[in-house]
């Protein structure tokens, strides 16, 4: 019996991840700003590829298509299955270890986006989250608003640097018509709830709570419950926080303590529900953590190495395409995503840092 593939990656445009230089992120400035093509035009232009790959990946999950927003060329795709009773994840960026490797825009971070799929239960729709890994440019929705994170249960489109990313749900029950325009017409309307713009430290924007919708209709009102089957509800959420020693806000009860041990010392992170929901980045890069960088300094630990995040009311450790991996110490087994249990010990890199979770 052949093994069912739960992750399929395809790269175009001569991209070779084995030749990745993994250099730092650069800010690109154009003398005359270029105008990107519309999401609709880019979708229709690449519809044959989108339809073919979505049809071939029959498992419930997520298909991600990257298109150059300025040339309209398809540059790569990633299909990830939603697993029964288990979360799944993928990483997008310029690093050679990422799942969807995009090397054509030096303003993208090496590890730019984390994609998290909730565990799949009987009768449950595919639910996923896009998480910006505290990058300089974040990502944008169809209204050019920057986001730290968003959660959806249907197709959504975002712009990340010079790329447009189409996130489409896959599965046996989903049929795509032959004609590109008909395919576009099948995409549900995207309704953005609580769409507060991204606010990493450097942007210092005041958050606002508002609701907007993307539609060709001139209607100004709708019933969410009645229209739920015909729309994609998109919820914004705060992104990862810096790993201070105490990540508990006023009035919260701690979920537990994460102990980090490295050759240069030991540190304990007390984690609360809000920080766990947003996510906590660990690594030796300054955008990951302030206090933790004092001990996570070895070059074999990646600049962005692990994301600690609550998924479906459980705490997970997600390896963010690190160079030397994240391992279960007792089994010498590398993991890309694992649900944390009491006193379970993980190692970062070649045993240079150890993570031990103590739930409350």
The CATH number assigned to the domain holding 56 equals 2.60.200.20
Domain boundaries, position 92: 7-236
Residue 207 scores a pLDDT above 70: no
Nearest to 173 by CA among 58, 56, 47: 58
Instruction: Give the torsion through C-alpha atoms of 133, 137, 141, 146, to 10 deg.
Output: 90
In angstroms, rounded to a whole number, what is the distance separating the alpha carbons of residues 15 and 258?
A: 38
**Together in a domain, 162 and 183:** yes
List, in order, residues 6 or more apart from 91 with CB less than 8 Å away: 97, 98, 99, 100, 111, 113, 114, 115, 320, 321
Q: Stretch 21-28: mean pLDDT, rounded?
A: 55
**Together in a domain, 209 and 327:** no
Residue 300 scores a pLDDT above 70: yes
- More confident site: 221 or 240: 240
**Together in a domain, 328 and 267:** yes
**Together in a domain, 164 and 86:** yes
List, in order, residues 6 or more apart from 96 with CB less than 8 Å away: 17, 18, 19, 20, 22
Q: Is residue 1 part of a domain?
A: no
**Together in a domain, 304 and 156:** no
**Together in a domain, 193 and 283:** no
Q: Is residue 241 part of a domain?
A: no
Q: Which pLDDT tens digit goes with each residue over 113-155?
A: 999 999 998 767 899 999 999 888 889 999 888 999 999 999 9
In angstroms, rounded to a whole number, what is the distance separating the alpha carbons of residues 187 and 77?
A: 18
Q: Is residue 2 part of a domain?
A: no
In angstroms, rounded to a whole number, what is the distance separating the alpha carbons of residues 253 and 344?
A: 21
Q: How does DSSP classify residue 185? A: H
Q: Which pLDDT tens digit goes with each residue over 55-111?
A: 999 899 999 999 999 999 999 999 999 999 899 999 999 999 999 999 989 999 999
Q: How does DSSP classify residue 124? A: P
How many domains is the chain partitioned into structurally?
2
Q: Which pLDDT tens digit goes with each residue over 40-58?
A: 999 999 999 999 999 999 8
**Together in a domain, 170 and 277:** no
CB 338 within 8 A of CB 347: no
Q: Is residue 159 part of a domain?
A: yes
- What average pLDDT does the chain have? 82
DSSP 18-74: GG---PPP-----SSPPPPPPHHHHHHHTHHHHHHHHHH--SSEEEEEEEETTT--E
**Together in a domain, 220 and 151:** yes
CB 154 within 8 A of CB 60: no
**Together in a domain, 32 and 92:** yes
Q: Stretch 14-20: mean pLDDT, rounded?
A: 55
In angstroms, rounded to a whole number, what is the distance separating the alpha carbons of residues 155 and 230?
A: 11
Backbone φ/ψ region at 85: left (φ over 0), alpha (ψ -120 to 50), beta: left
Q: Choose the final residue of a domain: 218, 236, 254.
A: 236
CB hemisphere CA count around 319 (13 angstroms): 23
């Amino acid at each position: 019996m052949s093994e069912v593939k739960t992750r399929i990656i395809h790269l175009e445009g001569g991209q070779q991840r084995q030749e990745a230089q993994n250099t730092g992120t650069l800010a690109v400035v154009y003398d005359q700003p270029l105008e990107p093509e519309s999401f609709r035009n880019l979708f229709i232009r690449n519809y044959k590829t989108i339809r073919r790959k979505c049809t071939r990946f029959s498992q419930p999950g997520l298909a991600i298509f990257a298109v150059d927003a300025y040339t309209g060329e398809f540059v790569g795709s990633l299909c990830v299955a939603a697993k029964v009773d288990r979360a799944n994840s993928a990483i997008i960026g310029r690093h050679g270890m990422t799942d969807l490797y995009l090397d054509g825009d030096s303003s993208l971070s090496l590890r730019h986006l984390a994609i998290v799929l909730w565990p799949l239960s009987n009768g449950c729709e595919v639910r996923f989250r896009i998480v910006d890994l505290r990058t300089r440019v974040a990502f944008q929705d169809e209204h050019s608003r920057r986001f730290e994170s968003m959660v959806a249960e249907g197709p959504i489109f975002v712009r990340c640097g010079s790329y447009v990313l189409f996130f489409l749900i896959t599965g046996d029950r989903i049929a795509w018509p032959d004609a590109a325009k008909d395919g576009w017409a099948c995409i549900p309307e995207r309704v953005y709830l609580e769409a507060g713009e991204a606010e990493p430290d450097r942007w210092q924007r005041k958050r606002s709570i508002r609701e907007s919708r993307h539609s060709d209709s001139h209607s100004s009102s709708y019933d969410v419950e009645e229209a739920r089957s015909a729309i994609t509800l998109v919820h914004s959420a705060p992104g990862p926080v810096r790993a201070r020693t105490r990540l508990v806000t006023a009035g919260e009860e701690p979920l537990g303590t994460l102990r980090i041990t490295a050759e240069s010392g030991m540190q304990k992170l007390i984690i609360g529900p809000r920080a766990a929901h947003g996510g906590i980045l660990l690594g030796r890069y300054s955008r990951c953590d302030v206090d933790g960088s004092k001990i996570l300094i070895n070059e074999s630990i990646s600049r962005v190495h692990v994301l600690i995040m609550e998924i479906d009311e459980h705490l997970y450790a997600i390896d963010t395409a690190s160079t030397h991996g994240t391992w279960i110490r007792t089994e010498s087994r590398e993991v890309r995503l694992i649900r944390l249990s009491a006193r379970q010990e993980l190692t970062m890199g070649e045993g240079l840092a150890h993570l031990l979770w103590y739930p409350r």
